[in-house]
Amino acid sequence: MAAEAGKVDPMHQFTIEPLFGTEGWQLAGYHIPFTNSALWMALASLLMLVFVAGGMKRQLVPGRWQMAVESFTGFIDGLLAANVGPAGKKYVPYMFTLFMFILFANFLGLLPLGVVGLHAFTFTSHFSATGVLAVVTFAIVIIVGFAKHGFHFFSLFVPHGTPLVMIPLIFCVELISFLVRPFSLGLRLFVAMMAGHVLLEVLSSFVISTGNANIGLFAIAGLPSFVLMVGICALELLVAGIQAYVFALLTCVYLNDAENLH
């Protein structure tokens, strides 16, 4: 949190800052520093690898860790089976990685960490991160669609039974709707995570301000705000899981369009 003149800036928590000095790396003439965003991406990836590695023991009587990994794998497998069908089996590794990466990223950003020079950073609150995940997913959908159906993939933009005279208009509308998908997919996760963190920061600054003013004002306004903040923290944990699920669900829907043309 950045404080200036006794005020808390709720947007400071989203600032991407270089770590370990500003030296960074020089690549093809570009300055590439190691930032707090990169650090928390690396931590999310590391935790995901540790989580998966701990569940690969393949014991006859699985322990809790193995059961957790198998439960998440079964959840993703069921999600793909329900939305894509039997062809969705081959996407389980990608969907599991995508879902767990977003889930760990969202939860890590909610850690009550307050070490000097380091605080929890939610990189999914940046459209540059969620947008890349959405574009990669969109690219897979397009590649699968053309690889499996060729130019017949364009029939996705002309619903069955469309009158001949309406085909040019419907094709343009459906094409624009299709091209907007990666933007809406990345924007939904970015907005949800950013809004929750801003609200928590505003409430916490209000609690601190009323507490510094006097005990009476804190009892009237600060304490209810603190209770509300605790409730929103619990809600944010739920939102973190829901947003990972929504991202995975919409990816399954888009993969179904590429796999199963009607």
Interval 163-180: pLDDT, tens? 888 888 999 999 999 999
Tell me which DSSP letter residue 157 carries.
G
Contacts of 157 (CB under 8 A, 6+ apart): 170, 171, 174, 175, 178
pLDDT at 149 over 80: yes
CB 237 within 8 A of CB 197: no
Provide mean pLDDT across the span 94-123.
84
Phi, psi for 89 (deg, rounded to 5): -55, -40
Provide mean pLDDT across the span 178-183.
91
Establish how many alpha carbons lie within 13 A of residue 234's alpha carbon, considering only the half-sphere containing its beta carbon.
5
pTM for this predicted structure: 0.85
Per-residue pLDDT reduced to its tens digit, 113-134: 765 556 788 899 999 999 999 9
Contacts of 154 (CB under 8 A, 6+ apart): 171
Q: Which of 7-11, 34-38, 100-104 shows the lowest per-residue confidence on average (mean pLDDT)? A: 7-11
pLDDT at 207 over 60: yes
Amino acid 76: pLDDT: 95
Closest among 13, 246, 261 to 133, alpha carbons compared = 246
pLDDT at 138 over 90: yes
Provide mean pLDDT across the span 17-44.
77
pLDDT at 46 over 90: yes
Locate 151 and state its tokens: 């130019």
Amino acid 4: pLDDT: 47
Closest among 45, 32, 181, 64 to 103, alpha carbons compared = 45
Amino acid 63: pLDDT: 81
- Residue 231: pLDDT band with limits 50, 70, 90: confident
Locate 64 and state its tokens: 């809790």
Alpha helix positions (H), 4-87: 36-54, 64-83
pLDDT at 100 over 70: yes
Distance CA 103, CA 105 (A): 5
Amino acid 250: pLDDT: 93
